[in-house]
Amino acid sequence: MSLRELPVFRDLRGFARYLEDRRLLARVGQPVSLVHEMTEVHHRTLLAGGPALWFEQAQGEGGPAAMPVLANLFGTAERVAAGFGVGPERIRELGEALAAMREPAPVDGLADAMSRWPMLRAALAAHPQQVSHPPCQAQSFLGQNVDLGRLPVQTCWPGEPAPLITWPLVITRPPDGGAGDTAGMNIGVYRMQVLDRDRVIMRWLAHRGGAAHHRAWAARGRDMPVAVAIGADPATILSAVLPLPETVSELHFSGVLRGERPRVAPALTVPLLVPADAEIVLEGYASATETAPEGPYGDHTGYYNSVENFPVMRVSAITMRRNPVYLTTFTGRPPDEPSVIGAVLNDLALPSMKRQMPEIADVWLPPEACSYRIAIVSIRKTYPGQARRVMMGFWGMLPQFNYTKTIIVVDEDIDVRDWRDVAWALATRLDASRDVMVTPNTPIDYLDFASPEPGLGGKLGLDATRKIGAETRREWNRTLAMAPDVKKRVDAIWPLLSAGFQFRAAP
């Protein structure tokens, strides 16, 4: 892909080296416990905009971990953009290319589509390449030797029932494709509770790709083959997190981002292909029938989730690179790593949203509102009632916006990313008797226990735009602004005039 400006990162360690050379990754030599302590160290580092952390001496309950542990990999927007292969300022361009992939097919057919959308052409051409003796199988543990206790799995928060694999790339495929089916392959990040030496719980929410595949296998009465990569090149990791169109496989898309065909190899004990350069791979079968109660675990909402049953996977093989590194993170009240990634994805999705509703100037899903529960949308308003149209369009735009409980619509002069601006618009442009839209009984995040029923709740739309036409009978006062010539004159004398001022933090 022509957008890529950083070197190709074929694996996690290559990306880590790149970050370390730029002081964006730091090595931690002191012993740090995998139980709670690592979360606290990671949390503090993330809050301060600090580096990725390579823990050389992670401590398990039974002693030192057998391998180093990497955390806070995507703890800043800069590192997320680097994972996509670009600088932070080019994320919107990448979003433009993604938006083109989502457009419906033009009348002139596929050839025309290919010529217009280089990203689509690249995605289709990014056929995985099968390699023999893949690095990820340099060591393998099968049968009686399978023991998840070999891995430095974190216990993130007090009161959690068992260690939790937090950055698994869960690879599945539908039952009708063969072992080599990479086009139908899904890769998603679904946390995994460790039950014992060879069993984990697969916590995929019902609308996820992995859950859909599992339903299809279970409907045929068959256990589903699963492979789980822990630690891979950043393009594969980020592709797994991206809400890609269903027709685009994460594996193929990772090749587009990386600018190199994905390297895969057959798993040893399940009919699936796995990323050849992953650090660690778990193989096994997710049972069609066996479930176990999962949690409670700390969630990205800032609460422990409710305990619920999810399918159990029995691990048939653990394979690893030589000297593997274990990738981990925690989820908690934002900011956490997923919320930092979410803010970058917000910008990545913006061009796509603008194509669907051209009046949209900007959109912000504040990370502190769990990255999707509140949306602030600024528009170029030209007709009465437009803010409500935008709210309804927004709720219908992408499946994940089902979970956006509150939409605040503002004019283009308001910076959606600045709560002070948004509060001013709410305080001066909204009237509760006219500008509030409440819609009951809509689909809602089932993790949201504020709604009266699980999965069903209300939506709130706040129209904080200036009112025009039939929306008001009153004259709308002009916005205060200093005359430009006065500003210019003061600009000229400001350095001298303010030379002796002491400035504190801005109010």
What residues are annotated to the active site? 299
Q: What gap in Å lies between CA 284 and CA 496, rounded to an integer?
A: 71
Give the shortest CB-342-to-ligand FMN separation in angstroms: 8
Give the shortest CB-92-to-ligand FMN separation in angstroms: 20
Alpha-helical runs (H) found in 89-191: 91-102, 109-116, 118-125
Give the shortest CB-231-to-ligand FMN separation in angstroms: 13
- Per-residue contact string for residues 128-167; x = within reach of ligand FMN by CB under 6 A: --------------------------------------xx
Going from the C-alpha of 390 to that of each of 95, 206, 401, the distances in angstroms are: 21, 28, 13
Element (H, E) at 26: strand 25-28
Nearest CB to ligand FMN, comparing residues 25 and 71: 71
* The one segment of 11-19, 40-48, 239-247, 376-384 that binds ligand FMN by CB under 6 A: 239-247
Nearest CB to ligand FMN, comparing residues 330 and 408: 330
Among 13, 42, 102, 208, binds ligand FMN (CB under 6 A): 208
What dihedral do alpha carbons 462, 467, 469, 475 form, nearest 10°? Answer: 150
Nearest to 171 by CA among 136, 138, 133, 139: 136
Nearest CB to ligand FMN, comparing residues 164 and 350: 164
Q: What gap in Å lies between CA 351 and CA 365, rounded to an integer?
A: 15
Going from the C-alpha of 22 to that of each of 16, 17, 264, 418, the distances in angstroms are: 10, 9, 30, 30
Q: Kindly determine how many residues on this chain lie close enough to bind ligand FMN according to the rule CB under 6 A.
A: 20
Place of tokens 């905009």: 49
**If binding is defined by CB under 6 A, does position 42 make contact with ligand FMN?**
no
**If binding is defined by CB under 6 A, does position 209 make contact with ligand FMN?**
yes
Tokens standing for 97?
Answer: 């290319």
Tokens standing for 415?
Answer: 């910076």
Q: What gap in Å lies between CA 218 and CA 287, rounded to an integer?
A: 8
Nearest CB to ligand FMN, comparing residues 250 and 277: 250
Nearest CB to ligand FMN, comparing residues 205 and 423: 205
Q: Which of residues 298-357 bind ligand FMN (CB under 6 A)?
A: 329, 331, 338, 341
Nearest CB to ligand FMN, comparing residues 73 and 409: 73
Residue 159 burial (10 A CB sphere; 0-12, 13-18, 19+):
exposed
Give the shortest CB-234-to-ligand FMN separation in angstroms: 13
* The one segment of 21-29, 240-248, 283-291, 427-435 that binds ligand FMN by CB under 6 A: 240-248
**If binding is defined by CB under 6 A, does position 189 make contact with ligand FMN?**
yes
Among 205, 219, 436, 450, binds ligand FMN (CB under 6 A): 205
Give the shortest CB-411-to-ligand FMN separation in angstroms: 32
Among 51, 75, 135, 188, binds ligand FMN (CB under 6 A): 188
Give the shortest CB-349-to-ligand FMN separation in angstroms: 12
Q: Rounded to the nearest 5 degrees, what angle is found at the Cα of 179, between the Cα atoms of 173 and 185? A: 25
**If binding is defined by CB under 6 A, does position 295 make contact with ligand FMN?**
no
Give the shortest CB-352-to-ligand FMN separation in angstroms: 15
Nearest CB to ligand FMN, comparing residues 73 and 361: 73
Q: Map residue 496 onto helix, strand or coil.
A: helix
**If binding is defined by CB under 6 A, does position 394 make contact with ligand FMN?**
no
Q: Which of residues 468-487 bind ligand FMN (CB under 6 A)?
A: none
Give the shortest CB-321-to-ligand FMN separation in angstroms: 21
Q: What gap in Å lies between CA 16 and CA 53, rounded to an integer?
A: 10
User: Per DSSP, what are the bridge partners of residue 264?
Assistant: 130, 275
Going from the C-alpha of 252 to that of each of 47, 208, 258, 313, the distances in angstroms are: 34, 18, 10, 26
* The one segment of 176-184, 204-212, 320-328, 414-422 that binds ligand FMN by CB under 6 A: 204-212
Give the shortest CB-243-to-ligand FMN separation in angstroms: 5
**If binding is defined by CB under 6 A, does position 191 make contact with ligand FMN?**
yes
Q: Which of residues 168-187 bind ligand FMN (CB under 6 A)?
A: 186
**If binding is defined by CB under 6 A, does position 226 make contact with ligand FMN?**
no
- Kindly report the length of the chain: 507
Tokens standing for 376?
Answer: 């602030």
Among 190, 217, 364, 446, binds ligand FMN (CB under 6 A): 190
Element (H, E) at 171: strand 168-172
Among 42, 203, 321, 373, binds ligand FMN (CB under 6 A): 203
Cβ contact 300:370 at 8 Å: yes
Cβ contact 326:340 at 8 Å: no
Give the shortest CB-205-to-ligand FMN separation in angstroms: 4
Among 7, 64, 243, 469, binds ligand FMN (CB under 6 A): 243
Nearest CB to ligand FMN, comparing residues 200 and 363: 200
Buried b (16+ CB within 10 A) or exposed e, 405-426: bebbbbbeebbbeeeebbeebb
Residue type, 43: H
Q: What gap in Å lies between CA 172 and CA 175, rounded to an integer?
A: 9
Q: Which residues bind ligand FMN (CB under 6 A)?
A: 166-167, 186, 188-191, 203-205, 208-210, 241-243, 329, 331, 338, 341
